[in-house]
Structure 1
Amino acid sequence: MSQTTTGTGADAVLDALDPEQREVASTLSGPLCVLAGAGTGKTRAITHRIAYGVHAGIYTPQQVLAVTFTARAAGEMRARLRDLGVHGVQARTFHAAALRQLHYFWPQAIGGAAPEVMPHKAGLVAEAGSRLRLQLDRSSVRDLAAEVEWAKVSMLTPETYPAAARRAGRDPAGLDVTAAARVLALYEEVKTERGVIDFEDVLLVTAGVLQDHPQIAETVRRQYRHFVVDEYQDVSPLQQRLLDLWLGGRDELCVVGDASQTIYSFTGASPKYLLDFQRRFTGAKLVRLVRDYRSTPQVVNLANRLLDAVPPAHRTARVELVAQRPKGPEPSFTGYDDDVAESAGIARRIKALVADGVRPREVAVLFRTNAQSEPLEQAMAEAGLAYVLRGGERFFSRREVREAVMLLRGAARSTDAEMPLGQAARDVLVSGGWTLQTPSASGAVRERWESLQALAGLADEVEAARPGATLSDLVAELDERSAAQHAPTVEGVTLASLHSAKGLEWDAVFLTGMSEGLMPISMADGQTAVEEERRLLYVGITRAREHLHLSWARSRTPGGRATRKPSRFLDGLRPDTEDGGGSTGSAPSSKRGRGGSRKATAKCRTCGKPLMTGAERKVGRCDDCPPTYDEQTFENLRAWRLAVATATSVPAFVVFTDATLVALAEGKPDDVAGLARIPGIGATKRDRYGAQVLAVLGGEDPAVVAEAAVGPPAAE
């Protein structure tokens, strides 16, 4: 139910909110679910809710725990609460909150000091693989480390992992899931030998302590009476388990999320907890935040249209955004000859924006994979544009930043408190090598200046938020940000992956590499995976406040074959003549049938819907429609494939993929000519396996067919 107060201070907290935000902020008790679209002010709503509750006397600050998913978001939440006059609220990431509790209760629950938390898994994963005599390169180790994380946040053991991995379609560094499970088991053994824990253990062990020690759980529940969870669509089963233990059956919980921004399912995140919230908490209130204050109507319209194309079977509780800003420029769609030309074209457009007054720090170039950054970095350098690559060295770890903070800390003890903060900070930074003029040099000199310039800019922000603030206040802000790794914004164009851009926004956004194979990524097999790619593009679009440019290249290298086509997600979004700025129009994909003699769009033979993935096109049926083949035929083919793969010591998919087996079971060719019409069966595979496949389809025993062709496994 909604609680209100007549307190002037509390009511003032609500004055600047729109009706939906006000409803969130004034609902102080009971379960509350907020479906908040991109740019609708969700952080504003939940921080004002906490502030309103505190000022109204309903909440005690120390009894509120607000959790989110990044240190940056937690830091921003704390800063906003402080500006609203609220101190003492715990705003942390799940891991930070759990680690704090683990350190405090470890001596009581287990004894001794809590073990060290490993910063990285790669070393121990590599050792586990080595003990199993697996040949793992660096990328395989990295992929297996990610698989360890997925298994643990999904609350799987090495014993339960294989079945779950098969259901989820996991591909653990190319290993069979049984082999991956052995790596998981041995990784745990190595970790125990070293006496360390990993980040997932922080959540697992904390949950175990609360589960096994009722008195500790009761202490935590007495401490925290009200809970807020941001980005709830990204909660994993393990995080939800810990949240349930914190709650202890209570319902003083506010969750905020947007199912249309679920982009981390590969890490174990699931929107099901957000979507099922009202079912799990009877009588829960639901509020939708739909007013988009971030983006122009043109950007909002494009984002809404992108989600309009989601197939009915994959639609969830969606927020239809309503733009609140004045009109802006239309998004542009540009095709380039190759990646180098695309990067150079983007750099030219950015220079034009900067010349028109857009600050470099308000421009971002977003891409699907980190490997796409290299030509962009080169183009930025050649154009004389400063840039920041997200994921590089942490801001507060930079030498010049550490030295500047030391100077500011010393000056805070002696500087005239009457001097404006911005001026005082700049006087100190000058002694550290900062200059008022931007240096003409590039490289390390420019990077050092940009770091110090970011500190000067932060001083201005603190002064604007808190008139009369001093160097001591700035140092305190820096200490808090350093602990949370909440860096100030550096003056330069941001280059970042779409995943790392979540939660950020810029005046101008360039979405590069918008071609099939990159968006959606070629590894997205199946409609569920393709729809996650669509949501990733939605996140990219909604990062833009005003200027939005989408582009793709027909070829990877200059002079290469123009085999790339614009992303299927752009169908219906880009105008007929999608290119601008002197670019030549992209040739539409033959698979989408845009006029002329090109082939028509491949459609499902059952329901007639367009086929979206290679696997769907291979079998001629969409994932939503039931199979039209004889299941026994398919199982016979699988049994034959397994026998051949075992006898020849190759992975099963090397023989034939599941999609090819489905196509065979549905087509049931009875001669070599018929086999040739099955996608995925070229001349080499027809020669090698054609007679065997026809024999199995003809009803012969698959094991006998395989043994007759390759001999029994014992002979290998």
Structure 2
Amino acid sequence: MQYIDFFTKKKNELGVILNDVQKEAVLTNDGPLLLLASPGSGKTTTIIMKIGYLIEVLGVDPSRIKAVTFSRASAKDMEERFQRFFPNLPLVDFSTIHSLAYRVVREYFAKQRIDYQLIEGTNEGLNKKMILRDLYKAINNEPITEDQLEELITFISYIKNKLIPENEWGSVGIKIPKKEEIIKRYETFKNSGTPKLLLDFDDMLIIANQVLENNQDILSRYQQRYDYVLTDESQDTSLVQHYIIEKLVNKHQNLCVVADEDQSIYSWRGAEPEYLLDFKQIYPNAKILMMVQNYRSTKDIVEVANKFIQQNKKRYNKNMFTNNLPHKPIKIKTLQDYKLQSNYLIKQISKMDNLQDVAILYRNNSSAILLLDAFEKANIPFYMKDVDNRFFHHWVVEDIKNFMRLSYNTSRVDVFERIYSKFNGYLKLSQMEELKRVRNNESVFDNLLSFVKLEEYQKKKIQHFKKTYERMHDATPKRILQMIRDDLGFERVLEFRSEKFGYNLNNLVEILNTLEQIADSTETMVDFVNRLNHLDALMKTSKFNKGENAVTFSTLHSSKGLEFQTVYMIDLIDGIIPSKSKEEDEGAEEEREEEVRLFYVGMTRAIAHLELISYERKFHAPVKKSEFIDQVYKIIHPNEQKKPSKQEKKVKEKPINPNGIKERSILKIGLQVKHIVFGSGEIVFIDDEMVEICFEQSHKKFLISTCLKQGFLEID
């Protein structure tokens, strides 16, 4: 039979041997097929063999086959793989779904004589990011941060890919002030038609879907263009992308969808894994095959990963297995402190010869910064997969640099102007303008006290700031950072701005903590700033180590599709992965299951050695190891008796102070009070929720409701 000859020929030519399910996938070409491919199951090889079979055995014209991938990189990889397998065959049309959509849109606009322009990329004045920056500032009277901009772009992409109607935009949980007004004005601006219709990548998908829905002529032409359509990584495909494919194959339904719902980790981009679960409803005649034999990893890793993912409910009932031999059990390592993590990794990895076989995976890009610092000092080469990390140009880092610059010359009004609102002194723009009119080259603090009209509480703050800057001259960079955070009130300002503008306070504090750790090994502010600049440059140049003998640093998201002999998954603490505890996530089953899938993706990158690393303390605060580690431990040790947990000591509630202030009306700016812990001080600021008190050594903010309830304050 022809197909037997085909498989024998490829075995002899390429050494490719397919298992029974892979062969069945290659031979199933009439009607819809859902091929569920577990990690390491050889899905790309199977797809390439299937395309080759269509051409060599069934005689299909290569131009009649359309292969759709998730990214340009995977399209290129598949094309190169196809050429290696079938060097004498013409190329098949491999492309992304966006590329396909763009063809449809371009053809439609040409017919309609609609002039348009793409606003993705770096077009001056007319690029997506610039438009959104301008709109945000116009609506919120505040410049948008890079983090917020990325979140806003993700929000826009999410609602378009999920086809969420305008009246439901507000239900999407992101903390961007006036997000609905921004996107409405963004859409109005793009569709104004002067001088051209403006399009972003998400618009291409929306318009392509609408064209195929409403323009029978173009729909028929595309339906007749391809006899076979294959889509890869379809667990990452959004609803609008699925609809485009549906319309494309509606006539012949010769569709092969390759996916793994267990590896769907991009719901925040609009990915729709549930579409796969409903595949039979959409394509009633579909065949569903499960490729569950893992060729990548050892038995120790495959069996644990398989049991771990089974806690998820919204998945097909499939069991990944391997015929590979055991090697060594998954290792779980708990360190006493976060600071020990980089040293531990260096100690382990420095013993290895082939660094290219090693990967360190983490949830957030911020984890890479201290790795970068430590590995460079240890002279261990690395390749960082996500080189667009904006840490060293984050506004918090820039603010810290400006606080430090001011210490060199406190007469620098231009530097002070950049950060005056970041001091915890409640200085107003009008006061800053008064200061700028004073041009005597004296200290900004002296000029504020002498020439600017200030409230009494502001004068005390300015005097305090002046003394703090005087103390900075002989301090180490780490101590200076602590002064900026505490004595100048920068961290309290971050708390306030986080509440007002929806910043993630934990992320901002993490930046400060990371800066402190980098500063710990420097002696002067110049050394510290130079170190930051050096690490920034090092991060960018690490891309040249790709393919070299270097350790790979990658986020869990970016690691999908990769494999390494040894994998370290780090920073495995609750709040990072999972991002919320079970109690916090109650009622959010979909988000919870995606956290499980992300951890599963990380585990299944490892071929022979997998290590899960957590710690007990981070930046002086106790943390809890990821509950996923406990789950893995129980899978590895199913018969081990659970050790009795230490009974938490019940903290006795302090008796309410009988002399404590009970009435909110008593609290006034200027009132001398005594705090139960911090002693005597003066109220310098008060609003609906918070009271700020200036003590002899520090300023502190407290919740008014707590102070009144517990009697923490009394009149001094």
1:299 touches 1:330 (CA, 8 Å); kept in 2?
yes
Residue from 387, 401, 408 that aligns with 2:382: 387
Matches within 5 A, 1:423-438: none
Is 1:597 matched with 2:647?
yes
1:339 touches 1:375 (CA, 8 Å); kept in 2?
no
Is 1:12 matched with 2:15?
no
Indicate how the Cα distance of structure 1 residues 6 and 381 shifts in structure 2: closer, same or farther if over 3 A, else same.
Answer: closer
Amino acid at match of 1:364: A
- Measured on the aligned residues, the alpha-carbon RMSD in Å equals 3.5
Q: Which residue of 2 aligns with 1:272?
A: 274
Is 1:150 matched with 2:208?
no
1:106 Cα deviation from its structure 2 partner: 3.1
State TM-score, norm by structure 1. 0.64
1:160 Cα deviation from its structure 2 partner: 2.9
1:63 touches 1:224 (CA, 8 Å); kept in 2?
yes
Amino acid at match of 1:131: A
Residue from 123, 130, 134 that aligns with 2:130: 123
Is 1:77 matched with 2:127?
no
1:151 touches 1:161 (CA, 8 Å); kept in 2?
no
Distance 1:393 1:566 in 2: 28
1:532 Cα deviation from its structure 2 partner: 1.1
1:297 Cα deviation from its structure 2 partner: 0.6
1:161 Cα deviation from its structure 2 partner: 3.3
Distance 2:336 2:594 in 1: 28
2:387 touches 2:543 (CA, 8 Å); kept in 1?
no
Q: Which residue of 2 aligns with 1:620?
A: none
Q: Which residue of 2 aligns with 1:527?
A: 589
3-state SS of 2:66 partner: strand
Residue from 308, 311, 317 that aligns with 2:310: 308
Residue from 271, 295, 298 that aligns with 1:296: 298
Residue from 89, 100, 105 that aligns with 1:102: 105
Q: Which residue of 1 aligns with 2:355?
A: 360
Indicate how the Cα distance of structure 1 residues 117 and 97 shifts in structure 2: closer, same or farther if over 3 A, else same.
Answer: farther
CA deviation vs aligned residue, 1:594-616 (integer Å, no higher than 9, x gap)? 4342499xxxxxxxxxxxxxxxx
Residue from 601, 609, 613 that aligns with 1:547: 609
Q: Which residue of 1 aligns with 2:572?
A: 514
Q: Which residue of 1 aligns with 2:629?
A: 570
CA deviation vs aligned residue, 1:448-477 (integer Å, no higher than 9, x gap)? 7984xx7xxxxxxxxxxxxxxxxxxxxxxx
1:64 Cα deviation from its structure 2 partner: 0.9
Distance 1:202 1:190 in 2: 16
1:569 Cα deviation from its structure 2 partner: 1.1
Amino acid at match of 1:121: K
Indicate how the Cα distance of structure 1 residues 109 and 89 shifts in structure 2: closer, same or farther if over 3 A, else same.
Answer: farther
1:294 Cα deviation from its structure 2 partner: 0.6
1:684 Cα deviation from its structure 2 partner: 5.2
Mean alpha-carbon deviation: is it higher for 208-217 or for 501-510? 208-217
Mean alpha-carbon deviation: is it higher for 129-138 or for 179-188? 129-138
Mean alpha-carbon deviation: is it higher for 569-578 or for 66-75? 569-578
3-state SS of 1:209 partner: helix
Mean alpha-carbon deviation: is it higher for 362-371 or for 103-112? 103-112
1:371 Cα deviation from its structure 2 partner: 0.9
Amino acid at match of 1:239: Q
CA deviation vs aligned residue, 1:297-356 (integer Å, no higher than 9, x gap)? 11112212312344xxx342143111132221221111112222111111221122x23x
Distance 1:289 1:39 in 2: 10
Q: Which residue of 2 aligns with 1:92?
A: 95
Amino acid at match of 1:150: Y
Distance 1:576 1:205 in 2: 48
1:36 Cα deviation from its structure 2 partner: 1.0
Is 1:140 matched with 2:141?
no
Indicate how the Cα distance of structure 1 residues 335 and 248 shifts in structure 2: closer, same or farther if over 3 A, else same.
Answer: same
1:240 Cα deviation from its structure 2 partner: 1.2
Distance 1:187 1:75 in 2: 33
CA deviation vs aligned residue, 1:122-164 (integer Å, no higher than 9, x gap)? 322222222323533332222111111111111234x3333xx
Matches within 5 A, 1:1-40: 5=2, 8-9=5-6, 12-13=9-10, 16-40=17-41
1:80 Cα deviation from its structure 2 partner: 1.7
Distance 2:535 2:140 in 1: 47
Distance 2:204 2:174 in 1: 23
Indicate how the Cα distance of structure 1 residues 594 and 251 shifts in structure 2: closer, same or farther if over 3 A, else same.
Answer: farther
Matches within 5 A, 1:427-466: 451=544
Matches within 5 A, 1:464-483: none
Distance 2:249 2:590 in 1: 32
Amino acid at match of 2:611: H
Indicate how the Cα distance of structure 1 residues 220 and 556 shifts in structure 2: closer, same or farther if over 3 A, else same.
Answer: same
Indicate how the Cα distance of structure 1 residues 65 and 564 shifts in structure 2: closer, same or farther if over 3 A, else same.
Answer: same
Distance 2:384 2:180 in 1: 35
Distance 2:631 2:162 in 1: 37
1:26 touches 1:49 (CA, 8 Å); kept in 2?
yes
Distance 1:688 1:317 in 2: 54
Amino acid at match of 2:380: L
Distance 2:388 2:648 in 1: 49
3-state SS of 2:613 partner: strand
1:512 touches 1:550 (CA, 8 Å); kept in 2?
yes
State TM-score, norm by structure 2. 0.64
Is 1:42 matched with 2:43?
yes
Q: Which residue of 2 aligns with 1:338?
A: 337
Distance 1:683 1:144 in 2: 31
Amino acid at match of 1:512: I
2:573 touches 2:626 (CA, 8 Å); kept in 1?
yes
Distance 2:635 2:278 in 1: 41
1:109 touches 1:213 (CA, 8 Å); kept in 2?
no
Amino acid at match of 1:76: D
1:60 Cα deviation from its structure 2 partner: 1.6
Distance 1:450 1:263 in 2: 24
1:81 touches 1:87 (CA, 8 Å); kept in 2?
no
Amino acid at match of 1:251: Q
1:7 touches 1:56 (CA, 8 Å); kept in 2?
no
Distance 1:318 1:57 in 2: 33
1:161 touches 1:181 (CA, 8 Å); kept in 2?
no
Distance 1:246 1:109 in 2: 21
3-state SS of 2:140 partner: coil
Residue from 550, 556, 570 that aligns with 1:492: 550
Q: Which residue of 2 aligns with 1:349?
A: 348
1:7 Cα deviation from its structure 2 partner: 8.1
Indicate how the Cα distance of structure 1 residues 553 and 254 shifts in structure 2: closer, same or farther if over 3 A, else same.
Answer: same
1:64 touches 1:225 (CA, 8 Å); kept in 2?
yes
Identity among equivalent pairs (%): 24
1:450 touches 1:491 (CA, 8 Å); kept in 2?
no
Distance 1:94 1:446 in 2: 31
Mean alpha-carbon deviation: is it higher for 300-309 or for 535-544? 300-309
Q: Which residue of 2 aligns with 1:258?
A: 260
1:54 Cα deviation from its structure 2 partner: 0.8
How many pairs align? Answer: 498
Residue from 243, 246, 249 that aligns with 2:245: 243
Q: Which residue of 2 aligns with 1:644?
A: none
Q: Which residue of 2 aligns with 1:502?
A: 560
Amino acid at match of 1:316: R
Distance 1:171 1:446 in 2: 32
3-state SS of 1:293 partner: coil
Matches within 5 A, 1:383-422: 383-392=378-387
